[in-house]
A = this chain, B = another copy of it.
Amino acid sequence: MSLFLSSYENRLDTKGRISVPASFRASLSSEQFAGVVLYRSFTNNCIEGLTMSRMETLAAATDKMGVFDGTLDDLSAMLFADARPLSFDVTGRIMIPADLLAHAGITDRAIFVGRGNSFQIWNPDAFHRAQDAALSRLRTARPDFKIG
């Protein structure tokens, strides 16, 4: 699977549909399931997005863990119960369920944010605030951090 990179701000139309960025769809082109899996982020006011095959990888990973691990149990319970498979229409749009939109505070615009092997969907303003905060945390924690 190719990576989810960059950020794309798109609009929700009057019917609540929104285009998944073409480059994200390209990252999904080899998938069996023509669509994405969304769930509410545990850590942010945003929506997490995965491919179906990655969802299956996660299921396999939780199987490997202990049956009596309480935290993990909570985690996978949340994840699988909350996950929504959404298939694309002909033009590559999805309809994001209302409770996910509410969780992320999205009304008329949303930004799709690449995260490598996954992606997120944010209210654009909230995302930019979170990015700014992340940058200052990084500068404080590791003033000389380098990539690669």
Contact = CB atoms under 8 A, between A and B. Distances in A.
Copy total for this chain: 2
Contacts of A5: 37, 55, 80, 83-85
Interface of A: 2-7, 23, 33, 37, 42-43, 48, 50, 52, 54-56, 58-59, 62-63, 68, 70-71, 73-85, 113-118, 130-131, 134-135, 137-138, 141-142, 145, 147-148
Given A48-B147, A71-B141, A142-B71, A6 B77 contact: no
Given A59-B3, A117-B148, A147-B48, A138 B75 contact: yes
- 10 closest Cβ contacts across the A-B interface? A59-B116, A74-B134, A5-B83, A80-B116, A80-B114, A81-B113, A6-B84, A80-B115, A7-B81, A74-B138
Nearest to A97: B6
Contacts of A52: 3
Given A59-B3, A141-B71, A79 B147 contact: yes
A71 B90 CA distance: 39
B6 A131 contact: no
Contacts of A58: 116, 147-148
Contact of A134 (B56, B78, B114): B78
B78 A131 contact: yes
B68 A43 contact: yes
A49 to B, nearest CB: 11
Contacts of A117: 59, 62-63, 148
